[in-house]
Structure 1
Amino acid sequence: MSLELFGHPFSSYTWKVLIALHAAEVDFEFRMVDADHPDNLEVVQSAGPLAKFPVLRDGENLLFEATTIIEYLSQHHAPGEMLIPSEPDAAIGIRMLDRVFDNYVMGPMQAVVDEYLRDAQTPAADRIAEARARLDRAYAWLEGWLQFYPAGDQITLIECAAAPALFYADWVHPIPEDRPRLRRWRKHLLRQPAVALCVDGARPYRQYFPLGDPGRD
């Protein structure tokens, strides 16, 4: 039986796992989670305490949380040390950057989106300003980090986390021109085949983005 991934094509954390699966060329079945697929929703609801996707099913194993799923894929399905290296210090560095993108890029991006979901007409300006300021700090830090990171064609846990986080963060709070390394890397990531598949798969759902589709990417 092939792996099954339960999620939605417009979900950033679903992207995170999809990128790993595509890059590692792992066979899997995608299970859409929406109102039209209640059986898939039931699987997600049974997996974790807050019924959030993505969820991976591998036989009797049911895993939730995108980073955990990628750790599992690295151990059991991805070739070699592609996603996470076995050398402990190298793995620690990759896991640290995974948390940077989830907590300091995806987190404040989602905070802005949540405000528009809460009240699209009058979102809380102070909360949005605070989240945008956090994104500015993250962008500045990443610009410096990219001086030392070999931003090639590899797909590791870092790229799996970075691509969806930067894709949507730039929609919410555009990366400024004085962060050229980060702007170039975002474009580079979106050209990677495993990422491009996710970008294309999400296109039919762009009208649902609370702040509007910026008409690019």
Structure 2
Amino acid sequence: MPLTLYFHPLSSFCHKVLIALYEYGIDVEKRIIDLSDEADRAELRSLWPIGKFPVIRDHDRQRDVPESSVIIEYLDHFHGGRQRLIPGDWDSALEVRLWDRFFDLHVQGPLQQIVADRLHGTHADLAPQRTALLTAYHLLEQHMASRIWAAGADFSLADCAATPALFYASTLVAFPDDHRHLGAYFERLVQRPSVQRVIAEAKPYFAWYPFAEAIPQRFR
């Protein structure tokens, strides 16, 4: 296959890229990287010295592309075909990129700090991170009151970012009961065939998620 994805099925940022791949209908070779394995770590660092997944190797162009947002931009440009996750119109594309960054920085950021705390047993004061998630939820509740998808009429890069961010964040800090627009948006996301495929592929690995007990039964 012309593309190889270096990833892990439990990783939220890998989920983001997988959703895009499935939306595009792109066939890709999948190489699971076990970060506890020295050889796997070395292989990943040979592609991206930072040593983080996901990374995509484009064999035809002899290029390795790291970072989830950049990978999706790359796929959209070279492999998107008729299905585009980033609009051609500059203003619309800017909106998509804004909400992509919102989910990566203001939802993924706090949730990963909370997960890392449990993984490493540091028992830090995580009240600021939980407050940050609630702040993000409140903003999204207002934002989603007048729209179907995060950045416009069509499913986009922003929704690829939203899905794993909200999936994992909701296991740490539940959506408030009165946030019906946020809840409805999340339901639209998880009904997407690309998302259902990603969740199904992640199921065998959910037991290793530090908050596995908080994953709703319907996803396990």
TM-score by length of 2: 0.90
Match of 2:51 in 1: 51
Q: Give 1:209 deviation, angstroms.
A: 1.4
Q: Secondary structure of 2:80's match?
A: coil
CA contact (8 A) 1:31 1:40 kept: no
1:54–1:88 CA distance, 2 compared to 1 (3 A): same
Match of 1:201 in 2: 201
CA contact (8 A) 2:148 2:185 kept: no
Q: Secondary structure of 2:146's match?
A: coil
Match of 1:171 in 2: 171
Alpha-carbon distance in 2 for matches of 1:35, 1:158: 27
Amino acid across the alignment from 1:67? S
Amino acid across the alignment from 1:147? A
**What is the CA deviation profile of residues 128-163 of structure 1, one whole-angstrom value per residue up to 9, with x for unaligned ones?**
111000000000001111123233994310111000
Alpha-carbon distance in 2 for matches of 1:123, 1:114: 10
Match of 1:78 in 2: 80
Alignment of 1:67-106 (within 5 A): 67-80=69-82, 82-106=84-108
**What is the CA deviation profile of residues 44-101 of structure 1, one whole-angstrom value per residue up to 9, with x for unaligned ones?**
2122232000000001110110000000001000123621011111100000000000
Q: 1:137 aligns with which of 135, 138, 145?
A: 135
Structure 2 segments unaligned to the other structure (5+ residues)? none
Match of 1:182 in 2: 182
Alignment of 1:115-126 (within 5 A): 115-119=117-121, 123-124=123-124, 126=125
1:39–1:28 CA distance, 2 compared to 1 (3 A): farther
Alpha-carbon distance in 2 for matches of 1:210, 1:114: 9
Structure 1 segments unaligned to the other structure (5+ residues)? none
Choose 20-29 or 146-155, whichever is displaced more.
146-155
Q: Secondary structure of 1:45's match?
A: helix
Match of 1:16 in 2: 16
CA contact (8 A) 2:23 2:83 kept: no
CA contact (8 A) 2:171 2:215 kept: no
Q: Give 1:118 deviation, angstroms.
A: 1.8
Match of 1:147 in 2: 145
Give the superposed CA RMSD.
2.0
Amino acid across the alignment from 1:146? M
Q: Give 1:42 deviation, angstroms.
A: 3.5
